[in-house]
Structure 1
Amino acid sequence: MPHDAPGSMTPTPEDPRGLRADAPLFDAYLRALAEPRTPFIIPGHKRRPDLIGPLALGDLPLSGGVDDVKMRGGYLADAQQRAARLWRADVAHFSVGGSTHGNQALMLAVAGPGQKVVVPRTLHRSLLSGLVMSGAEPVWVLPEVDERRGLPAGVRAAQVAEALAAHPDAVAVVTGDPGYVGTIGELRETAEVAHAHGVPHLVDAAWAGHFGFHPDLPEHAIALGADAMVTSVHKTLPGYSQAALILARTERIDPARLAAAIETTLTTSPAGAIMASIDASRALLERDGEELLGQVLPLVADARRRLSRIDGAHVLDGADVDPAKIVVQLPGTGADGVAVEQDLLDEGLPLEMADRDTLVAMITLADGATELDVLVGALTRSIERRRGAPRPVVGAASWTVQPQTVVPPRQAFFAEHEAVAGNEAVGRVSAELVAPYPPGVPVLAPGERITSTALAALREARDAGTRIAYAADPSLATLRVLR
């Protein structure tokens, strides 16, 4: 929709793209900010900047701030209906808990204790926590790892069909697309496989908020036949941190159960600013998304070309990779990605992910030619500075460890456990989730046997400078195991 479309408003400093007429929740938030009030309601700072500083000024609760306590304005319901229409879903829910909350809610909506769900091993830890919460049991689909890249490919429909054939009692299929490094799977074909089996296909599309809104981008999961998708509005779209969308078609998913699952796991005091940012991002994407994405995609393509000229560097590209993401692999340069990351941090250029072999830079519609030039220049200088002897490509532990499930995740989570020395944990059953972060993909999950291979891979990641997340002892000196 052009900027001067009927009903659009004149841009203001608070609303520079004139979205207020198209975004009811965002508009209500801006009105509430401007109204003089003496609130006798939470939050306790009462928007007084002399107590905790200026961050209090924009903090309005959804209920009792953006709308009244009884939610009589209906702004959230209106905004969610607009999002559902845009993504061609039957229902949409806004979340202040990120895609983590959405994934957990979907698990509660489609599966119960003892029921099986087909899940890729490249899952985010939120899906695993959803399995714990619901009591569902995973049927793992192991990723195909590209030997040349050392990175996981997207899930293939044939893998899902094989898993369903081996476990015909499975009640749902979950995939993540695109993956953390931008690789794309076979969503349309996977949905067809799941539907032929009579079960819903759910997609963790946290990194795909922009998909479907430019002809050079893949379609989004709902358009490709998925029954539900979760996407982060704060990743590739300009929402506040923690902003996310849960979208669903209701042919195979009970909307009442989904709503109950979302309410069960959502705070009763959602931040109005986060919710309003979802509505504003939706309106921006609907009106100007194709234009804005059309500006940034050629810049990413050009940056990839320039980075690929670095001797020994491999830049992910092609039809199976998100066109808006920059992923650079370093083994051929001999440079250490953690050292490169530090160089960029020193220049004020934090990266989304960096381990020894792989760098991931998030590019969004907020970036322009200047930002891409700065990134390419800094990466080029640092890689040349850190250059060493080329080394072979080695797949990260998150993509290569073979899980050995002994007991279901929920049973392991609630079982009695003890902490033992790392070497003594080999052969025991893990009581905790352990993952290099980023990407937050588990190497060990509750209920899985701790193998020497898994422990060695985690230690190697730790020693290379990668953060070990979620473990009670991130040093790995001890691990929690079932008694």
Structure 2
Amino acid sequence: MPTDPRMLRGDAPLLDAWLRFQEQPPTPFTIPGHKQRTDLVGDVIAGDVPLYAGLDTMKLSAGVLADAESRAGRLWGADFCRFSTDGATHANQSVALALGGDGDRVVVSRSLHRSLLLGLVLAGLEPVWVRPEVDRATGLPLGVRPDEVRRALARNPDVRAVFVGDPSYVGTVGDVRGLANAAHEHDVPLVVDAAWAAHFGFHPDLPAHALSLGADVVVTSAHKTLPAWSQAALVLANAGRIDLARLDAAVEATATTSPAGAILASTDAARALLARDGAALLGQALEAVASARRRLHEVEGLVVLGAADVDPLKLTVLLPGTGADGIAVERDLIDRGFPVESADRDVVIAVLSMADTAETVSAYVDALVAAIARHRGPARDPASVGTYQVQPDMAMLPRQAYFAATQAIPLSEAIGEVSAELVAPYPPGIPVLAPGERITVQSMATLDAAAHAGVRIAYAADPSLQTIRVVRK
């Protein structure tokens, strides 16, 4: 279902402003320094229009950004909406700053992305950790149970907010309504990092979006499952338990002062498309992935994640029963032009969106089935140690550890020391170690298992993990 973006401009003020800039190009005496000339460094800068003195005047007198954010708020049923050109990372960190600081305590799911964990450092928050339930057979997360949040709140009555991520990176969907009820029983807000769920709620076969289920703040990435530029994200919130003025100030405090107009315009255009054609486009993609699941279920030994509690547009497959190595499968897929979101020894994850068609999905499945057949071997047990099973041992506040005097020591000597850095297998970017946590046998084993499974270990000062920075005694 191709669509002409010009047909969306009547409902997309930022897109309309971007198109007008292309139709009547000025001779700018403002930044950016390329001055719209593609003869200098090429088309790599084509379409780069600033918000200030580009989509709007330098004084923002046309109000196109505020108009677009207001329309997005109405679409999601939110009292507050801000666009981010720095992704869900900026959005998560602004929410952390808005909800507390300097020793305030918050309940935090351990399965959250590194961006929120570093938000704790920025805001000086103390985490009260809760862990998602983990499926014993696969080692994959099933979501944080509401009763787990209730217990954490009962033990820590001074908590200021509850932060969870839902859906998970692998696509599993938790009980957001139950989590909202648990938080609200203690009169604290529920914040949901729904980076992978911008499409939720816009087709009857998809889960409802978190705001409609009672969440107070939702962060979502327009670029992950909607047709927006990379780094496009939104912060959505409802009044009541949230100081919206403080949230707005936090967004401003952590945002770039030179926002990319193309990212903003694409967020606006994706929102307008979702409102107009979202159900039809998502319906086509859902039919395609349902057909893909049926085909993949016929592959001997392959487990396809998919039930009522999984995002239908996340195609996650588990390989141990086939004996195939996911890293080898990924290499085959890349060679055939099908890069995937994530692959390790046991799991391959493909992200689908409203941009996918029956043809693209079918071609991917052909390539995946062929790669599994090529690398098939004796069945094996899934990895027994995983990121989602790590039990953090917090020795000091994340902010204190981050700014403490540190030293690099050999990893072989690090057990029992306090980590000064955040270390995470990537993707998905969920930390095994965060600043202030004691390095344990379990955390070391998890990092070692991830590295041997072919996953990149990210964010450590020493990428080889021969050494690690710890708090100096």
Q: State the TM-score, normalized to the length of structure 1.
A: 0.96
Could you tell me whether the CA contact under 8 Å between 1:117 and 1:170 is conserved in 2? yes
- State the shift of 1:396 in Å: 5.1
Residue in 2 that maps onto 1:334:
323
Pairing partner for 1:438 from 427, 432, 456: 427
Q: Secondary structure at the match of 1:223?
A: helix
Could you tell me whether the CA contact under 8 Å between 2:420 and 2:470 is conserved in 1? yes
Residue in 2 that maps onto 1:41:
30
Pairing partner for 1:56 from 18, 25, 45: 45
Could you tell me whether the CA contact under 8 Å between 2:318 and 2:347 is conserved in 1? yes
Pairing partner for 2:264 from 275, 283, 297: 275
Pairing partner for 2:411 from 417, 422, 435: 422
Pairing partner for 1:201 from 190, 202, 209: 190
Could you tell me whether the CA contact under 8 Å between 2:385 and 2:449 is conserved in 1? no
Residue in 1 that maps onto 2:368:
379
Could you tell me whether the CA contact under 8 Å between 1:176 and 1:205 is conserved in 2? yes
Residue in 2 that maps onto 1:413:
402
Residue in 2 that maps onto 1:454:
443
Could you tell me whether the CA contact under 8 Å between 1:151 and 1:396 is conserved in 2? no
CA distance in 1, matches of 2:371, 2:56: 50
- State the shift of 1:166 in Å: 1.1
Pairing partner for 1:217 from 206, 220, 229: 206
Pairing partner for 1:286 from 275, 281, 289: 275
Identity over aligned pairs, percent: 59
Could you tell me whether the CA contact under 8 Å between 1:151 and 1:395 is conserved in 2? no
Could you tell me whether the CA contact under 8 Å between 2:47 and 2:262 is conserved in 1? yes
Q: Secondary structure at the match of 2:52?
A: coil
Could you tell me whether the CA contact under 8 Å between 1:397 and 1:443 is conserved in 2? no
- State the shift of 1:460 in Å: 2.1
Q: Secondary structure at the match of 2:224?
A: coil
CA distance in 2, matches of 1:425, 1:150: 26
Residue in 1 that maps onto 2:228:
239
CA distance in 2, matches of 1:340, 1:396: 22
| TM superposition outliers: structure 1 runs of 4+ over 4 Å | none
Q: Secondary structure at the match of 1:171?
A: coil
Residue in 2 that maps onto 1:309:
298
CA distance in 1, matches of 2:449, 2:174: 29
CA distance in 2, matches of 1:322, 1:58: 33
Q: Secondary structure at the match of 2:361?
A: helix
Residue in 2 that maps onto 1:370:
359
Could you tell me whether the CA contact under 8 Å between 1:210 and 1:237 is conserved in 2? yes
CA distance in 2, matches of 1:287, 1:276: 16
Q: Deviations over 1:159-218 (max 9, x none)?
A: 111111111110000111100001111111111111110100000000000000001111
CA distance in 1, matches of 2:37, 2:193: 39
CA distance in 2, matches of 1:94, 1:395: 40
Residue 344 of structure 2 corresponds to residue 355 of structure 1: yes
CA distance in 2, matches of 1:348, 1:193: 45
Q: Secondary structure at the match of 1:475?
A: coil
CA distance in 2, matches of 1:457, 1:42: 46
CA distance in 1, matches of 2:273, 2:468: 46
- The residue identity in structure 1 corresponding to 2:175 is E
Could you tell me whether the CA contact under 8 Å between 1:117 and 1:136 is conserved in 2? yes
Q: Secondary structure at the match of 2:365?
A: helix
- State the shift of 1:452 in Å: 2.0
- The residue identity in structure 2 corresponding to 1:335 is A
CA distance in 1, matches of 2:266, 2:409: 45
- The residue identity in structure 1 corresponding to 2:459 is Y
CA distance in 1, matches of 2:385, 2:219: 26
Residue in 2 that maps onto 1:8:
none
- The residue identity in structure 2 corresponding to 1:75 is V
Could you tell me whether the CA contact under 8 Å between 1:99 and 1:244 is conserved in 2? yes
Pairing partner for 1:152 from 121, 134, 141: 141
CA distance in 1, matches of 2:112, 2:402: 18
- State the shift of 1:240 in Å: 0.2
Within 5 A, what are the aligned runs for 1:120-199?
Answer: 120-199=109-188
Q: Which runs of 5+ in 2 are unaligned?
A: none
Q: What is the RMSD computed on CA atoms of the aligned residues?
A: 1.3
CA distance in 1, matches of 2:147, 2:65: 40
Residue in 2 that maps onto 1:390:
379
- State the shift of 1:245 in Å: 0.5
Residue in 2 that maps onto 1:88:
77
> Is the alpha carbon distance of 1:268 and 1:402 closer, same or farther for their aligned partners in structure 2, counting shifts above 3 Å?
same
- The residue identity in structure 1 corresponding to 2:349 is V
- The residue identity in structure 1 corresponding to 2:421 is E
CA distance in 2, matches of 1:422, 1:204: 32
Could you tell me whether the CA contact under 8 Å between 2:284 and 2:358 is conserved in 1? no
CA distance in 2, matches of 1:184, 1:305: 21
CA distance in 1, matches of 2:370, 2:197: 30
- State the shift of 1:36 in Å: 2.9
Q: State the TM-score, normalized to the length of structure 2.
A: 0.98
Could you tell me whether the CA contact under 8 Å between 2:385 and 2:445 is conserved in 1? no
- The residue identity in structure 2 corresponding to 1:23 is A
- The residue identity in structure 1 corresponding to 2:366 is G
- State the shift of 1:395 in Å: 4.8
Could you tell me whether the CA contact under 8 Å between 2:288 and 2:362 is conserved in 1? no
- State the shift of 1:26 in Å: 0.7
- The residue identity in structure 1 corresponding to 2:51 is L
Could you tell me whether the CA contact under 8 Å between 2:176 and 2:210 is conserved in 1? yes
CA distance in 1, matches of 2:410, 2:286: 49
Within 5 A, what are the aligned runs for 1:15-34?
Answer: 15=5, 18-34=7-23
Q: Which runs of 5+ in 1 are unaligned?
A: 4-10
